[in-house]
Amino acid sequence: MNKNKKEVSKIETKKASMDEWPEPIVRVQSLAESNLSSLPDRYIKPESQRPITTEEAPAATNIPIIDLEGLFLEQGLSDDVIMSRISEACREWGFFQVVNHGVRPELMDAARESWREFFHLPVNAKETYSNSPRTYEGYGSRLGVEKGAILDWSDYYYLHLLPPHLKDFNKWPSFPPTIREVIDEYGKELVKLSGRIMRVLSSNLGLKEDKFQDAFGGENIGACLRVNYYPKCPRPELALGLSSHSDPGGMTILLPDDQVFGLQVRKDDTWITVKPHPHAFIVNIGDQIQILSNSTYKSVEHRVIVNSEKERVSLAFFYNPKSDIPIQPLQELVSTHNPPLYPPMTFDQYRLFIRTQGPQGKSHVESHISPR
């Protein structure tokens, strides 16, 4: 009985801690603008987690770049070569870039630059949008509620696009004047693109085109946007803009800053710095797709490095399952020789981990592998 009381107490404590951050929030932008000559201890990563310098980086390589032109026609998916390239990228990399994806370049630029203008506002002007760890919605500067945690060198803005009842324009910035209109259009375009890629992921596993989408809840999916702002850092070799993690959701479509490299992807124990192609999106597989595919598709660790000379702005769009649907390996993909690797779990249950613990590599998805 005492053990049960302790467990209940732990859960209640965790829920209570989600209402506020464990320590006063310090905006990284404010630190960067104070002309620091050294890095505060709270942002210095352990030696094993620090990024390698440019001089130590491996020979130039990049994640696959895939041209989607002609893939999505009215009569359905049409190009076996493109589909095969996507399949290989999902199995071997967990990441790929897409060009000719159907989203207007002008809209992509407007989305990124609108957010750059927002982050260039004085910090006090942004505080009205400050967030809490319960939903993360709004202006933030840390992930996870662990007291005393080593923090990442970034600020961000998180907002909901779907489901409709969570989409609240009042929680979106009102400056610059067109930002709400631009982001609303941008979000709708990325929902369409995500649905198209989901059809490819299903078909490439020999399933009906709508199988993955149906498993996510059909049209009742979740979609959100996290805009990342990485200010200049006085000691970039000691810090990270975003610690190593795999995305807990379904699929991420990233609009990078193509003028400033930052994203690194882990491939065969080597960190590869992604070189963004102009007006390309970077697509990566999240944990929920890895679970649905019974680990045929891989969610992959990635992180963000920072820069001493330039700031960086990127937009991460997350396409997620309906939050209360249990996600588990699809029946068509399991057998006696290939049993399910993961137990059923809703996305609400799953993402509570990252909201409390922050980025933790691949530890979360691996901790849910069913014992054999």
Which CATH number fits the domain that encloses residue 324? 2.60.120.330
Contacts of 253 (CB under 8 A, 6+ apart): 190, 193, 194, 281, 282, 283, 316, 317, 319
Q: How many CA atoms lie within 13 A of 185 on its CB side?
A: 15
- Decide if 57 is inside a domain: no
- Decide if 354 is inside a domain: yes
Strand-pair category, 263-267 with 76-77 = unpaired
DSSP states of 280-296: PEEEEE-HHHHHHTTTS
Instruction: Compute the distance between CA of residue 172 and CA of residue 129 in angstroms, rounded to an integer.
Output: 8
Six token digits for residue 257: 């800053």
Consecutive 10-residue averages of pLDDT for the chain (372 residues): 44 60 94 92 95 55 88 64 94 96 97 98 94 92 90 97 94 96 98 96 96 96 98 96 94 95 92 94 97 96 95 98 96 94 91 63 60 54
Alpha helical stretches, state H, 140-275: 179-203, 211-216
- Decide if 2 is inside a domain: no
- Decide if 7 is inside a domain: no
The residue range of the domain holding 159 is 23-51+64-368
CA dihedral 8, 14, 171, 324 (to 10 degrees): -50
Q: What is the pTM of this model?
A: 0.90
Strand-pair category, 65-67 with 95-99 = parallel
Give me the number of domains the chain comprises.
Answer: 1
- Decide if 106 is inside a domain: yes
CB distance 279 to 219 below 8 Å: no
- Decide if 59 is inside a domain: no
- Decide if 180 is inside a domain: yes
- Decide if 248 is inside a domain: yes
